[in-house]
């Protein structure tokens, strides 16, 4: 948004607004001042993607100059075609400057361009926050376990998190953030019930295993507590990622009935989900 009045008035108001600031890059200050009067950002003020610092969008974000932030990132991205490396850099910069549309563009690129192997690639250079954004996307694509396969099981996302933690051991305390991007509701009953054994192969996730165990137990309880479908049909399929391979619904329903019957024999009590309201009510399975 531009300041009202003449060009001189705009520049004077802008300088008064930021006169008390002593940590602003002088070039960024002048560029922001000019933008306030013209509404246009000169191409030569936009630094290359791989430049070490980008003070202008940082200043613009700091004082909520959203138009300036958006123009800066638009020009920067249009200047060169995105690659894995440049998309990772754009994603980090966009998160830092709250450039939401550019954040989504870069994250979508990384999510839909898997590396040739899960053991290398720009994904492992991302900060925890940036990696979380990529893993959270519905259009996430992973290198499939079998050549030519188009879909993947959600549990492979967890293995990718484990590899990220392994390669970023200094940030292991942030692993819990990445784990939140794993959609346990898309795991099969077989995956959920064998999860404790699976954890043994995910060595890097040691510090967040308790979090995973708790989340898995909660997911399993909720899945079991859903009302049984009518005899003439199966439960509605879960909303999934575009490329997630779901378990066979017939097999899932058979396993759910077996687990419910087993728990009922053991006298287990779980919070049941009311079919009409979705509210939890405690009853025996």
Domain of 75 in residue numbering reads as 1-81
What Å distances lie between residue 120 and 115, 123, 202, CA to CA?
7, 8, 17
Residue 55 main-chain phi, psi, to 5 deg? -70, -25
The string of pLDDT tens digits covering residues 219-266 is: 888 888 876 555 545 555 566 788 888 888 888 888 888 888 887 788
Residue 211 pLDDT > 50? yes
Domain count, the chain: 1
Residue 8 lies in a domain: yes
Residue pair 143/116 in contact by the 8 Å Cβ criterion: yes
The string of pLDDT tens digits covering residues 97-130 is: 999 999 999 999 999 876 544 456 889 999 999 9
What Å distances lie between residue 202 and 164, 170, 234, 242, CA to CA?
11, 17, 34, 25
Reported pTM? 0.79
What residues contact residue 153 under an 8 Å CB cut-off, 6+ apart? Answer: 191, 244, 245
Measured distance CA(110)–CA(280) in Å, rounded = 38
Residue 47 lies in a domain: yes
Residue 225 is encoded by which pair of tokens?
Answer: 């507590």
């Amino acid at each position: 948004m531009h300041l009202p009045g003449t060009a001189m008035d705009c520049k004077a108001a802008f300088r008064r607004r930021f006169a008390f600031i002593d940590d602003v890059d002088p070039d960024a200050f002048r560029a922001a001042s000019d933008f306030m009067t013209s509404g246009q950002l000169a191409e030569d003020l936009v630094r290359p993607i791989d430049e070490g610092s980008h003070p202008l969008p940082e200043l613009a974000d700091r004082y909520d100059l959203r138009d300036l932030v958006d123009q800066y990132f638009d020009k920067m991205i249009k200047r060169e075609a995105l690659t894995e490396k440049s998309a990772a850099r754009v994603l980090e910069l966009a998160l830092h400057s709250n450039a939401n549309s550019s954040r989504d563009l870069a994250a979508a690129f990384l999510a839909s361009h898997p590396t040739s192997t899960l053991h290398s690639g720009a994904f492992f250079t991302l900060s925890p926050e940036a990696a979380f954004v990529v893993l959270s996307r519905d259009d996430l694509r992973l290198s499939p376990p079998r050549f030519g396969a188009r879909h993947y099981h959600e549990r492979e996302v967890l293995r990718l998190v484990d590899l990220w933690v392994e390669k970023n051991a200094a940030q292991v305390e942030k692993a819990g953030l990445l784990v939140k991007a794993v959609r346990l509701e898309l795991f099969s009953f077989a995956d959920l019930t064998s999860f404790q054994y699976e954890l043994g192969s995910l060595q890097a996730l040691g510090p967040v295993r308790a979090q995973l165990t708790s989340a898995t137990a909660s997911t399993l309880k909720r899945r079991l507590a859903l009302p049984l479908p009518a005899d003439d049909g199966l439960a509605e399929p879960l909303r999934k990622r575009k490329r997630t391979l779901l378990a066979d619904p017939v097999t899932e329903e058979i396993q759910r009935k077996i687990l419910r019957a087993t728990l009922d024999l053991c006298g287990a009590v779980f919070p049941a989900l009311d079919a009409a309201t979705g509210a939890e009510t405690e009853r025996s399975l």
